């Protein structure tokens, strides 16, 4: 297999970052990682990322919750049928409350799960291809490319106005 390298540009301005992304993509460098201190729509558009799949987690969780709510209330009531006042053993109106609450609960938990899984959040500090300033005021683009392309990438980054460019092995 071919040994790959990463080029790593740090920007102060969002427009130059966006420009760099565009140029790189034109130059057919698709494997980009962009860092920003806040969620930026410009960048997202420039990268043409597709819709996050977290929403499917949410949907599944919510549906599951609704079902749990329904089965829990009805089955336990039937399992231990106790008469209170003249109310029927299975009184759906109050049970709907549990359906709702569990929908929300499971939905949220599933969403959290989805987030953690998809954004690959792990319990360790990022070492490579990261700069602490990203969480302050700098933007960054990491380009994964073949060794022979390094120069080219560096050029593009520089031209687009990167403050500095670094090389890192992956």
Partner 1 sequence: MNQESALTYSKVNHDIIRMLDKPTVKWWSLFIFDLAVLAFGLFCFLYQVYTGLGVAGYRHPVFWAVYITNFVFWVGIAHSGTLISAILYLFRARFRMSIYRISEAMTVFAVLTAGLFPIIHLGRPWSFYWLLPYPNQRELWVNFRSPLLWDVFAVGTYLTVSSIFFFVGMIPDIAAIRDRVKEIPRKIIYTILSLGWKGSTWEWGHYTRAYFYFAAFATPLVISVHSVVSWDFAMSNVPGWHSTIFPPYFVAGAIFSGLAMVITLVVPIRKIFHLEQFITIANFEGMAKMIILTSLIVTYAYVVEFFMAWYSGNPYEWGQFMYRAKGDYALFYWIMIFCNSVVPLLLWFKKVRTNIKALFIISLFINIGMWFERFNIIVISLSHDFEPGGWGLYRVSWVELGVTAGSFAWFFMFFLLFIKILPALSISEIKEILPAPTREAKAR
Partner 2 sequence: MSEIKKGGSTKPVLSKGEGLITGGIKRRDFLKILGVVGGTAAITGGCSPEPVEKIIPYVIPPDTIIPGIPKWYASTCMECPAGCGILVKNREGRAIKIEGNPLSPINSGGTCARGQAALQGLYNPDRIGGPHTRNSSGRLEPTAWDEAERILVEKIKEIRSKGNGNKIVFLTNNISGSLNRLIDDWVNALGGRHIVYETFSHEPLKEANRISFGINKIPTYNIEKTKYLLSFGADMLETWLSPVQYARKFSEMHGYKNKSMGKFVQVEPRLSLTGVSADEWIAIRPGTEAFLALGIANAILSEGAASVTSGEADKLNRLVKDYKPDVVSLITEVPTETITRIAKEFVESRPSLALGGGAANTSSKSTETLVAINILNYIAGNVGDTVNFGDTLTLSNANSFREIASLVDSMSKGEVELLLIYNVNPSFTLPKTLRFDEALKKVPFVVSFSSFMDETTEQANLVLPDHTTLEKWGDYTPQDSVYGVIQPIMDPVFNTKSIGDVILSISKKIEGLESQFSSNTFYDYLRDSWRGIQTRLAPDKDFEAFWTDKVERGGIYREIAPIQVRLSQEVSTVSFSEPKFEGEGAIYFMAYPSYRYYDGRGANKPWLQELPDAITTAVWDTWVEINPETARKIGVREGDFLSIESPYGNITTQAYIYKGIRPDTIAVPIGLGHKSYGRYAQNRGVNPIEILPVLTDEASGGFAWLSTKVNVSKTGKREQLVKTQDSTSQEGRGIAQAITLKELESGVHEQHELGEKFDMYPPQKYIKHRWGMSIDLSKCIGCGACVTACYAENNIPVVGKGQVAKRREMSWIRIERFYHEDNGFDIRFIPMLCQHCGNAPCEPVCPVYATYHNHEGLNAMIYNRCVGTRYCSNNCTYKVRRFNWFTYNWPEPLNWQLNPDVSVRTKGVMEKCTFCVQRIRFGEDRARDEERNVRDGEIIPACAQACPTKVIVFGDLKDGESTVSHLAKDERGYRVLQEVNTQPAITYLKKVTWDKA
Write out the residues near partner 2 by the rule CB under 8 A.
Answer: 80, 82-88
Residue nearer to partner 2 on the CB measure, 93 or 169: 93
For 161, left (φ over 0), alpha (ψ -120 to 50), or beta? left
**CB-based contact 143:21 (threshold 8 Å):** no
Residue 49 touches which of partner 1, partner 2, none (Cβ within 5-8 Å per kind):
partner 1
Residue 38 touches which of partner 1, partner 2, none (Cβ within 5-8 Å per kind):
partner 1
Residue 64 touches which of partner 1, partner 2, none (Cβ within 5-8 Å per kind):
none
Residue nearer to partner 2 on the CB measure, 94 or 132: 94
What is the closest distance, in whole angstroms, from the C-beta atom of residue 70 to partner 1 in the complex?
11
Residue nearer to partner 2 on the CB measure, 30 or 87: 87
For residues 29-54, one letter each, b for 16 or more C-beta atoms within 10 angstroms of the residue's C-beta and e for the rest, the string is beebebbbeeeeeebeebbeeeeeeb
Q: Which residues partner with 95 through β-bridges? A: none
What is the closest distance, in whole angstroms, from the C-beta atom of residue 63 to partner 1 in the complex?
14
What is the closest distance, in whole angstroms, from the C-beta atom of residue 142 to partner 2 in the complex?
56
Count CB-CB contacts under 10 A for residue 102: 21
């Amino acid at each position: 297999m071919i040994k790959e390298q990463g080029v790593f540009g740090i920007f102060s301005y969002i427009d130059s970052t966006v420009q760099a992304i565009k140029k790189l993509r034109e130059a057919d460098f698709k494997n980009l990682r962009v860092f920003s201190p806040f969620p930026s729509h410009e960048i997202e558009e420039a990268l043409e990322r597709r819709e996050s799949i977290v929403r499917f987690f949410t949907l599944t969780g919510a549906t599951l919750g609704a079902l749990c709510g329904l089965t829990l209330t009805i089955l336990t009531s039937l399992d231990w049928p106790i008469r209170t006042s003249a109310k029927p053993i299975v009184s759906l109106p109050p049970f709907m409350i549990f359906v709702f609450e569990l929908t929300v609960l499971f939905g949220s938990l599933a969403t959290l799960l989805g987030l953690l899984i998809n954004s690959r959040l792990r319990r360790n500090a990022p070492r490579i291809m990261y700069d602490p300033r990203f969480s302050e005021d700098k933007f960054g683009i990491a380009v994964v490319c073949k060794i022979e392309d390094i120069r080219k990438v560096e050029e593009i980054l520089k031209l687009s106005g990167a403050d500095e460019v670094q090389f890192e092995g992956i």
